[in-house]
Amino acid sequence: MAQEVLRMEGITKIYDNGFVANKNITFWLHEGEILALVGENGAGKTTLMKVLFGLENPQEGKVLINGEPAKILNTLDAISKGIGMVHQHFMLVPSLTVAENVVLGIEPMKNGLFDFDKAVSMTQEVADKYNFNIDPKMKVSELSVGQMQKVEIMKVLIKGAKIIIMDEPTAVLTPQETDELFEQLILLRDSGHSIIFISHKLEEVKRICSRVTVLRHGYCLGSYDLANMNEADISRLMVGRDVVLKIEKEDPKVGKPVVHIKDLVKINESGKHVLDGISFDIHEGEVVGIAGVEGNGQSDLSDVLSGMTGFTSGTVEVNGNDIKGKTVHDIRGMGMAYIPEDRMEYGCAGDMSIRDNIVADRFFKKEYKSGPFMKKKYIDQIVDQYIKDFEIACDDKSQPVRMLSGGNIQKVVVAREFTSGSNFILANQPTRGIDVGAAEMIRKTIVKKSREEGTATLLISADLNEVLECSDRLLVFRKGKVVAAFPKANEVSEAELGEYMLGLKTMTAEEMEGLL
């Protein structure tokens, strides 16, 4: 048995509002091990890792590193104990080089000035040692997403990390980039590093990890040998019930076009064509998926369709109405429902109640009003029903949304948008950062609404499994253009999709004719 390099014993963390994030959790990690840490949103994973990395201080419990008690009050304490954290959202400075980013906080100096050459040599040494094929002199802004992740890993390695926390590391990677990352993690494991792998992608947990620790409602259910478990076993422990990981759906009954996009161009403030001649329709009864490495125009398209930003030229119509110059309110009135990429920034008002968030788009509708007043009893009844239908775990409907877990916040947003009566749903990363149980419900509802209500849906997702499972037609975006179109998403492999996303393949206009 390998040496135990980390033990967190009896960790209890209770926030000022009384929320118990961790309750008497014991967690351990061996040398040269890749351990998965899984659980629903709100299960306590993030808090436990914040305690380990010095971002939170627990009320009870202790941390031992290599068998010795370790006092970790802040991140500097954690780093000095050989603990590093690679965050889900990269913490890089785009205008600086790889080397400058890697040595931030431990900058080499010469004659009182930053020693760039030394920074380059320090970075190159780490790159050579761990087989990172990356130029230390490149600007971070010029890197691919996969390369940026390598820079993040190098940042913790150069500071001497032997225990590395990886938070959703494959969330925005292509299959090819994920393969490269896993090769890197195996190399680190074999060189004696210990890795905590936090992920909602259970197939990846099975592939790269040897053991899994499962948290639920702030408690640790236990640690399990993955050799004796499948994905269904893991999800059952996480959620407390069987989860259907595969979406079964009938062929769509496609109707008339609901959304029409023709020659859409958007030029940003720096003169870049972030959307460059986009043309396609979305019909009644179908789910059109968009895949692509993040930053290739998907979010820009979402911003245009929702009315968050304008566009330079082209035509965009929703139910026959031109959206040029229209506001978000105007476009919603045309029949659009919108699940934004950032639920906290654009999807809800955190300090408002669940009730008020769910009916936020209906205050002006006659059926919700009696003269100048809202029909409180009627609204309470329908909100209670939506909380039940969408399985929102909460104390009651008056609870502020910010008190909920990420998955339940997303369910509040989805409950509002899916019950708005709209015939066009714009869903941008609808299951990002949420657990398998919540994701299952949202994915099933997207497909169900298209089949039973004839809703036209545009699904933008970095989760390739999601776009392949839920979509009928599938488009691939690269550099603001549609570079591939598939009439049947379920017949495309993740590997093939990755080749188009990375630019290794591109379809001609003739090949895509009739598919847009």
Contacts of 239 (CB under 8 A, 6+ apart): 40, 435, 436, 437
Q: Which two tokens stand for residue 457?
A: 């849906």
Among residues 460, 443, 484, 457, the alpha carbon closest in space to that of 282 is found at 457
Taking phi first (over 0 means left), then psi (-120 to 50 degrees means alpha), and beta for anything else, what does residue 124 get? Answer: alpha
What is the rounded distance in angstroms from the CA atom of residue 120 to the CA atom of residue 329? 51
Q: Is 129 helix (H, G, I), strand (E, B) or coil?
A: helix
- DSSP 8-state class, residue 141: G
Name 65's bridge partners: 6, 68
What is the rounded distance in angstroms from the CA atom of residue 101 to the CA atom of residue 406? 30
Residue 412's H or E segment, with its range, is: helix 406-418
First to last CA, the chain: 56
Among residues 176, 197, 199, 175, the alpha carbon closest in space to that of 185 is found at 197
Query: What pLDDT digit, counting tens, does each position of 425-448 carry?
Result: 999 999 887 778 888 889 999 999
- DSSP 8-state class, residue 127: H
Taking phi first (over 0 means left), then psi (-120 to 50 degrees means alpha), and beta for anything else, what does residue 454 get? Answer: left
Q: Is 406 helix (H, G, I), strand (E, B) or coil?
A: helix
Query: What pLDDT digit, counting tens, does each position of 336-359 carry?
Result: 999 999 888 899 999 999 999 999
- Residue 491: phi and psi, rounded to 5, are -105, 5
141 neighbors 94 (Cβ within 8 angstroms): yes
Q: Length of the chain, please?
A: 516
Name 110's bridge partners: 113
Residue with tokens 């000095």: 80
What is the rounded distance in angstroms from the CA atom of residue 482 to the CA atom of residue 280? 9
In the chain, the largest separation of any two C-alpha atoms, in whole Å, equals 76
- In this structure, which amino acid lies at residue 343? R
Contacts of 53 (CB under 8 A, 6+ apart): 72, 75, 78, 83, 85, 165
Q: Write down the pLDDT at residue 90.
A: 86
What is the rounded distance in angstroms from the CA atom of residue 428 to the CA atom of residue 67? 46
Q: Write down the pLDDT at residue 244.
A: 65
What is the rounded distance in angstroms from the CA atom of residue 122 to the CA atom of residue 125? 5
Neighbours of 273 (CB within 10 A): 16
What is the rounded distance in angstroms from the CA atom of residue 336 to the CA atom of residue 258? 10
- In this structure, which amino acid lies at residue 152? E
What is the rounded distance in angstroms from the CA atom of residue 266 to the CA atom of residue 471? 25
CA neighbours closer than 13 Å in the CB half-sphere of residue 106: 18
275 neighbors 266 (Cβ within 8 angstroms): yes
Neighbours of 125 (CB within 10 A): 12
507 neighbors 478 (Cβ within 8 angstroms): no
**How far is CA 161 from each of CA 78, 83, 130, 150, 167, rounded to the nearest angstrom?**
9, 5, 13, 15, 15
What is the rounded distance in angstroms from the CA atom of residue 390 to the CA atom of residue 225? 33
Q: Is 278 helix (H, G, I), strand (E, B) or coil?
A: strand
Domains located in the chain, CATH noted: 4-239 (3.40.50.300), 247-335+423-516 (3.40.50.300), 349-420 (no CATH)
**Number of helices (H) and strands (E), helices first, in the chain?**
17, 24
- DSSP 8-state class, residue 507: -
What are the mean pLDDT values of the chain's consecutive 10-residue runs (516 residues total)?
91 88 95 95 88 95 96 95 90 95 94 95 94 93 89 95 93 87 94 95 94 94 93 87 76 95 94 95 97 91 96 97 95 96 90 94 84 87 92 89 85 94 95 81 93 97 90 96 95 90 92 91
Q: Write down the pLDDT at residue 432.
A: 82
Q: Write down the pLDDT at residue 245.
A: 62
Strands 4-14 and 60-65, bridge-based pairing = antiparallel
Neighbours of 91 (CB within 10 A): 11
